[in-house]
Each structure stands twice: as structure tokens, then as C-alpha cells.
Amino acid sequence: MAKSKVFITGVAGFLGSHLAKRLLKNGHSVSGCDNMFGGYRDNVPEGVEFHEDDARDFEKMKTLLKGVDIVYHCAAAAPVGLSVFSPNIVTQHTYNSTVATISAAVVNNVKRVVFTSSMDRYGNQGGKGGVFTEDMPARPVDPYGIAKFASELFVEMMCKGNGIEYVQAIPHNIFGPKQKYDDPYRNVVSIMINRMLQGKQPIIYGDGEQKRSFTYITDAIDPLEKMGFQAGLSGEFINIGPDEEFITINEVARTVARFMDFKLEPIHVPDRPHEVKNAGASAGKARKLLGYKTTTSFEEGVKLTIAWIKKRGARPFNYHIEIEIVNGETPSTWKDKLI
């Protein structure tokens, strides 16, 4: 594999930092930016040329992307449920960052863009089986999903029109070490671990039977790396996630409690508005195109995540995003800072 100059937006975030570490290990030159909206500074691997800048800043991005071969656009504001009540903030950090980053990539004639979209593009199409396939049309049901779908359209239009290769990744519920575990709005596995470390019961929205395909972080990095370098992928949309395990939120709570030796008596609160009930990954296309396979089970991933958070220590939850719309539908867990 020829060595390339790679730029990662959101490089201090969970996904971006793991990706940077892998690419550095394989000999690539890696730079990146992060506005620290959803990451930790110590996530950034040694060897990354780090810029504490905002991917929404077109003029800055034009400068940062000079001489870059491949752009991974990972930066976004990803609290899906909160996006219903903070749509402006989420859209700015998700769609606007895409517009600035991809426009700057065009100006600098980069060779390929890898955009990390979201399973939220699919909405409720999974039905009882809950499995999303790439041939489904986008039908998002929340502002975050809408912003991601709009970003997909922008990436496709700008890259096609300017001769840039592009690949769109659709990750499913990635979790693991380096994930922001003091964020009360997202990352259910890490939230539960952090609460149990503080002697608090996990909070579960609704009946807890929502189903998800949880992807341990290393199983997401392998296909993402290939999306940046493998030939013949331009224009593809590819799910990233296991289809062997389809896990309920109740099962998440039981698994975390078991490995932490915690007496489980979960607190159930009303459903979050617009939450998709079943959202599973279909991995057939990823297996065919990328040789995707699951190497870390959900249980093993939970053990590794617990160990990392325990080592760092429990933290109070940081309500770092303003709730823009407060009404009778706004979950009290956020409105009254109950997490």
C-alpha cells in the first residue's frame, strides 16, 4: 500500500482517534482537526499533526487540507435523541462541517473522501426484523439523521462533479475505549458503565427492548481503513456493523452489571421522542467488498470498555450542549440533569 497524507476531522473524538492510530501504524502521514466538542485531547495519538480548529471553518480547512491525499470526515455532533431538541447545534456541527470540509477538499484536489454517515439515515425501515440494507432509501426521522443524509447528498454531488473518489460509511453503534463517557446525551454502554461506577442504577428509556447492532471499535476501523485505500469503491455506501448479534438495551444493562458485579435495578423513564425501535446492521455488502468480519463479541467489547473507564475513573456528566427546545416532550433526564 502506497503511503499517503491523510487528514481526519474529529481526530480527538472516539472514531477519529482510533483511525488515526491505525493509519500511523501503517506508515501514513496523519494530520487532523477537532474543536473538542465531543472528544478528549489525550485521545489524539502521538505522531498526529493536531490542529484545534473547527471543521465548519472553510477558510481554515482550505489551509489545513493543502497537499492532502485522503480526507476522513468524522466530525459531527452525534447525540441523536437530543437532536430533536437541539436541532440548530446538531445541524451546524454535522451538515455545516461537511460543507466546509468537502468544499476545501475540492479546492485542494484531494484524491478521495471517506464520509462517516449514520444508521439514522434509514429511520424506521427495519420493521420487526430491524435490519437495514444499503439499498433502502434514506428516510431519517430525527434532525441528526436528516443532517447526515443531507451531508451524503452534498458529498456525492461535490465529489462527482469534481472528479474526487468518495466512499460513504454507515457505522452502527460503535463503542469501546476512548469513547466520551461523561456525555449524558449519547453512548449508552459508556453512560451505563460511568453511572454504575458511581453506584447509580442505569437509566433506560421506555421498555428497554430497543434493539441495536453494537460494533466494537476495532471492528469498525478495519473496514474504514480499506475504504480510504482500496480500489473500486468510489460511490459505494457500506454498512459497518455485526449482524450476528442483535442486542436490546435491557441486555446492555444486564451485561454491564454482570461484569461490574453490580446489583441491577434499572430506572425506566418514558420513551425518547422519535427514537427508532429496531436498528440492525446488514453486513453482507461489507463482507463482499471489504472482507468484513466480527472479531470482538459484544461481551468482550464491554469488558474492554469497562477496564478503560475504570482506569480513567468515574466522571460527573457534562451537560455541554444547550437544549434549544424545552417543552413537555423534552426528556427530564436531560432537562433536569438526572443522568
Burial (Cβ within 10 Å: 0-12, 13-18, ≥19) of residue 316: exposed
pLDDT in tens, 180-202: 999 999 999 999 999 999 999 99
pLDDT in tens, 144-166: 999 999 999 999 999 999 999 99
- Average pLDDT over all residues of the chain: 97
In angstroms, how far apart are the furthest CA atoms of the chain? 57
From 253, 339, 239, select the one nearest 302 (Cα to Cα).
253
From 144, 126, 147, select the one nearest 136 (Cα to Cα).
126
Confidence band of 1 (pLDDT split at 50, 70, 90):
low
pLDDT in tens, 226-261: 999 999 999 999 999 999 989 999 999 999 999 999
The pLDDT value recorded for residue 130 is 83
Q: In terms of pLDDT, which residue wins out, 96 or 1?
A: 96
The pLDDT value recorded for residue 88 is 98
Q: Mean pLDDT across the stretch 255-277?
A: 97
Asked whether the beta carbons of 212 and 173 are under 8 A apart, the reply is: yes
- Grid cell listed for 242: 455485526
The pLDDT value recorded for residue 86 is 98
Q: Mean pLDDT across the stretch 260-265?
A: 98
Distance from C-alpha of 146 to C-alpha of 189, rounded to nearest angstrom? 24
pLDDT in tens, 93-149: 999 999 999 999 999 999 999 999 999 999 998 766 789 999 999 999 999 999 999
End-to-end CA distance of the chain: 46
The pLDDT value recorded for residue 228 is 98
Place of cell 470526515: 73
Q: Mean pLDDT across the stretch 289-312?
A: 97
% the chain with pLDDT above 70: 99
- Give every CB contact of residue 182 below 8 A, 6+ residues apart in sequence: 194, 315, 316, 317, 318
Q: Mean pLDDT across the stretch 302-330?
A: 97
The pLDDT value recorded for residue 126 is 73
Residue 183 CB: number of other CB atoms within 10 A? 22
Give strand pairing partners of 31. Answer: 7, 49
The pLDDT value recorded for residue 48 is 98
From 13, 156, 232, 180, select the one nearest 148 (Cα to Cα).
156
Domains of the chain: 1-339 (3.40.50.720)
Q: In the Cβ-directed half-sphere of 19, how many Cα atoms lie within 13 Å?
A: 32
Global pTM value:
0.97
